Amino acid sequence: MNELLIIADPHLMAERNAWLENLTRERRLSEHTLDAYERDTRQFLTFLTGHLGGPTTLRDIETLRPADFRAFLAARRRDGTGARSLGRNLAGLRSLLRYLERKGLVNAAGAGAVRSPKQPKSLPKPLSDRQAITVVSNDAQLHDEPWIAARDAAVMTLLYGCGLRISEALDVKPSEISAGTTTLRITGKGNKTRLVPLLPIVLEAVEKYRQLCPFHLDEGQPLFRGARGGRLQPAIIQRAMQKLRSAFGLPDSATPHALRHSFATHLLAGGGDLRTIQELLGHASLSTTQVYTGVDASRLLEVYDKAHPRA
């Protein structure tokens, strides 16, 4: 607090403290978020002391331009602050300035005109080879009804064995996949059509389900059925995966969509080229597929850190 008295005048500091108290009382933000906002605004006031040549006042805040906020973000970036932290820095400042503006003390337009830093794309979270094989196994399915256990295994196998989105798997018709079929024609996002190879294990899983399914599988209707014979809903498969996570100690990131990520990551690790993986996934742009190179590199580094004697 002594540091703050030096870098900002008492009136501004009193208003800042009132804002923090308001966040605690009215907004009920977590202690972690409050600590971050306190730190972010302290860093901003420290920056302004040097930037403006003296302790910051409400008048200084009133006259700040977008260039001043950009200068602060640039200084933080030079110190090694990442895009996510910079975004939080700006969110904290905007919250304080909106509070001051509501009290008629400043105009917060300057901060509002600054764009938040572009956030990095989060990397997909694939399952390991062993985890993926466990999840798609018929023996691993937890439903007491054999045909439903076979159905869930067949859907999971399609997601991992063909890299399908769950909506694509549930759109498959009986006529599109049967004994002897070697490829599956999928219509994905933007009505883009692609061909994916059908591995024998996928055909076996689907055939086991067909043999056990108690409903007539009309050729024009979806292959996978719910417990009452209607179209199978994605939420049912998501709940089945949730039970598998609990039973096998899998991470929360183990979702049906993670099987699609696993398909791409394991292909890349096995020597598959990005263009081929792009076509198999149905990505319109190669840049969308390139995220898996980051996943593969991170996994390699993880293995290196654990296994290399000099790591």
Catalytic residues: 165, 189, 257, 260, 283, 292
Encoding tokens for residue 67?
């260039």
- Beta carbons of 202 and 172 less than 8 angstroms apart: no
Q: Is 304 helix (H, G, I), strand (E, B) or coil?
A: helix
Q: What Cα–Cα distance (Å) separates residue 198 from each residue in 86, 175, 208?
A: 46, 14, 15
Write the single-letter amino acid at 256: P
User: How many angstroms separate the first and last alpha carbons of the chain?
Assistant: 42
CA–CA dist 94, 75 (Å, integer): 18
Q: Which of 196, 166, 122, 197 is nearest to 259 (CA)?
A: 166
Helix orientation angle between 83-102 and 66-78, rounded to the nearest 10 degrees: 150
Encoding tokens for residue 48?
């302004």
CA–CA dist 291, 279 (Å, integer): 15
What dihedral do alpha carbons 1, 109, 58, 25 form, nearest 10°?
Answer: -50
Beta bridge partners of 187: 193
CA–CA dist 69, 43 (Å, integer): 12
Which helix (H) or strand (E) segment holds residue 144: the answer is none
Q: What are phi and psi of 233, to 5 degrees?
A: -95, 145
